[in-house]
Chain A
Amino acid sequence: MTALADPASVSDPAPRVRPVNRARQRVQIAHHVVLILGVLLMCGPMAVAFMSSTFDPVVIHSEGLQIGWGGEFLSTYETVMFKGGGFTGEVTGGLMMWNSVLLGMGFAVGKIVISMLAAYAIVYFRFPFASLAFWVIFSTLLLPLEVRILPSYEVVQSLGMLNTWSGLILPLIASATATFFFRQFFRSVPDELLEAARIDGAGPFRFFVDILVPLSRTMIAAIFIIMFVVGWNQYLWPALMTTDEGMFTIVRGIRQILQVWIGANIPDYNQALALAILAMAPPALVVLVFQRMFIKGLVETEK
């Protein structure tokens, strides 16, 4: 009110506020430094690989990996995507990518269907040794593919399923991880929903399809991300199960291209790098697309 009181009331809070802001700023800068370092660490090699893939192989061979724009982008990627290679001369990068998509999708969709059904049975049906059954499924996590790959090969081979998509996908379709996730999720769904559905005349099938599956959307998205990437990155398994070049996946192709095209001349480094970039792009895209759904689902918790 008075002239004396005014400056006091204005200047008083200001010095108190400013140091707080400065401290907060310092913390934020520190956070960002850490984050930026992390981003550089993660993305740096990819960026170098991408930039190198646009250079001529001779340059890469003589001067090492490149930073900058080499101008060979279109020709390199066109060759990789559409030029036939391999012994048959018919394998293109495009075909290999398509094969990888098939494998990734087959893995992800198959694993989700099987593990949801398994978890549904374990959580909602009383059958003898239900929890034992679950722990048996769970214990298969202790037996990774590499440990049992020879017997698995034996089974697939004796069933005559080598070089078939079903032989490639079906033996690996059971997933203890996904079953465990769905089991935990189903257990968190309130029992009253089941009871309300029973009163509404929904049988076990209708309850699963009408209530449980829609409620699991976010879980399905999360599992899809993980399983698609797992399927896409399979290397050892398809290398054993398929010898037909028409079924080569892109992850195998990277090695294949280098091996096949090493002549007396310089290896096609640029093409190998381009293929590596192409092999990385789809899983990254899947993560980006589904992550949005995943977060949206987490925000709108519906249970």
Chain B
Amino acid sequence: MSVTLADRPADAAAPSGVPAAEPTLVIDRAVKRYPNGAVAVRGVTIEVGQGELVVFVGPSGCGKSTLLRMVAGLEDVTEGEIRIAGRRVNEVEPAERDIAMVFQNYALYPHMTVRQNLAYGLKNRRTPKAEIARKVAEAAAMLQIEDFLDRKPSQLSGGQRQRVAMGRCIVRDPSIFLFDEPLSNLDARLRTQMRLEIRKLQRRLGVSAIYVTHDQVEAMTLADRIVVLNGGRIEQVGAPSEVYARPASTFVAAFIGAPAMNLIPAELADGALRVGPEAAAFAPPPAGLAPGFVTLGLRPEKARVAPEGARPGGLPFVLDAVEELGATRLLHGRAAGAEMVVAVDAAEPVPAGALTLHADPADLHVFDAVTGARL
């Protein structure tokens, strides 16, 4: 039931880089249906490899937390199977699953000291006292919480509580860490710092992890692979750069990246992509597409504005507002009857006068107007 540090080298001995016979975690066509008929997860299949950090991201109610709790054993699996290290765990108690979890509100035991909090799980596993002391000391050193070991959670700051919650996971020495929006209770600066620490720690320990968040920046920065969920289904799985560069649907396109991608209704007709009420030709058609209605996607940071007449083509752009972000400047406006955002370098002067919007055809994403799928 317990994987101790001593057991670990057996796993580590497997040649790295070569995919193991069985990934650390397999979620196989998992479905979660509540007794009242509501369906939170609709047949999700994901594999998490050894040492991989996979981020589940999506808006609230997309099923990402439910899926994580199914892996933890806090929610029953209605259909499908969950395997951890090759073992079916659908019917296994959370404590026997070889997992560890960080909760959104940390869920530290308020009446126990930090030391007791870290030791509690080991104590319940009847780990020898000397070993508990050694593991707690190890984890405390790793997280730099040695000075707080005899304090209670109420005497700690948010960041320190966060570390204790992580420590509770580390001492368990699990095959997989589960993080349920662990940074959402911290302020922005601390969040950025802890994000990096979580990443470093997970790399150092080489333990697989699932990280649930609704924050796409966290998802982009942390993940080896991102799983974008929507309405209980997977929209896209891929490396952060891939999800950013080639969003599989308008949902992913709008969700990943800040500010969000501009989406413009368009029509592919007469040998051009035409947009707006006047059906102005905006770009040459991408190869291999049948004429019809599409949705055009253009990242704000890829869009360009120019004074009218300075560059051929382009759409008339009406500038409504300017947002300063420091390094960049966001130009909010309208083009072809749609709201558009353009991100420009703050070093460039704020454009004035009549403007046109331009885009490199290679930067345009084309989606099916009805299904939203990438074409």
B74 near A198 with CB under 8 A, answer: yes
The residue on A at minimum CB distance from B126 is A201
B111 near A199 with CB under 8 A, answer: no
Interface of chain B residues 156 through 209 with chain A (CB within 8 A): 168
B95 near A201 with CB under 8 A, answer: yes
B101 at the A interface (CB under 8 A): yes
- How far is it, in angstroms, between the C-alpha of A200 and the C-alpha of B72 when the chains are bound? 11
B244 at the A interface (CB under 8 A): no
B109 near A198 with CB under 8 A, answer: no
A198 near B105 with CB under 8 A, answer: no
Instruction: Count contacts between A and B, CB distance < 8 Å.
Output: 64
A128 at the B interface (CB under 8 A): no
A190 near B111 with CB under 8 A, answer: no
A196 near B107 with CB under 8 A, answer: yes
Task: In the complex, identify which listed stretch (A32-40, A64-72, A208-216, A243-251) lies at the interface while the others stay far away.
Answer: A208-216
A12 at the B interface (CB under 8 A): no
Which of A196, A211, A217 has the most B CB atoms < 10 Å from its CB? A196
The residue on A at minimum CB distance from B93 is A198
- How far is it, in angstroms, between the C-alpha of A211 and the C-alpha of B116 when the chains are bound? 12
B109 near A211 with CB under 8 A, answer: yes
Contact with B along A173-212 (1 / 0, CB 8 A): 0000000000000000010110111111110001000110
A202 near B124 with CB under 8 A, answer: yes
B129 at the A interface (CB under 8 A): no
Q: How large is the interface on B (under 10, 10 to 19, 20 to 34, 35 or more residues)?
A: 20 to 34
Q: Please count how many residues in chain A sit with their CB below 8 Å of the partner chain's CB atoms.
A: 20
Contact with A along B18-60 (1 / 0, CB 8 A): 0000000000000000000000000000000000000000000
Contact with A along B62-83 (1 / 0, CB 8 A): 0000000000111000000000
A303 near B110 with CB under 8 A, answer: yes
- With A195-B74, A201-B121, A206-B124 as given contacts, are A190 and B94 in contact (CB-CB < 8 Å)? no
B125 at the A interface (CB under 8 A): yes
The residue on B at minimum CB distance from A198 is B94
A199 near B94 with CB under 8 A, answer: yes
Which of B74, B99, B100, B154 has the most A CB atoms < 10 Å from its CB? B74
Of the candidates A197, A206, A214, which one forms a contact with B111 in the assembled complex, judged by CB atoms under 8 Å apart? A214
Q: Chain B contacts of A215 at CB under 8 A?
A: 110-111
Which of B107, B124, B125, B154 has the most A CB atoms < 10 Å from its CB? B107
A63 at the B interface (CB under 8 A): no
Which A residues lie at the B interface, using CB under 8 A? 190, 192-193, 195-202, 206, 210-211, 214-215, 217, 300, 302-303
Which B residues lie at the A interface, using CB under 8 A? 72-74, 93-96, 99-101, 103-105, 107-111, 120-121, 124-125, 152, 154, 168
9 A-B pairs with the lowest CB-CB distances in the bound complex, closest first: A201-B95, A200-B121, A192-B107, A302-B110, A201-B124, A196-B107, A214-B111, A192-B103, A199-B94
Pairs across A and B, CB under 8 Å, 8 listed: A190-B105, A197-B109, A200-B120, A200-B124, A202-B95, A211-B109, A217-B111, A302-B110
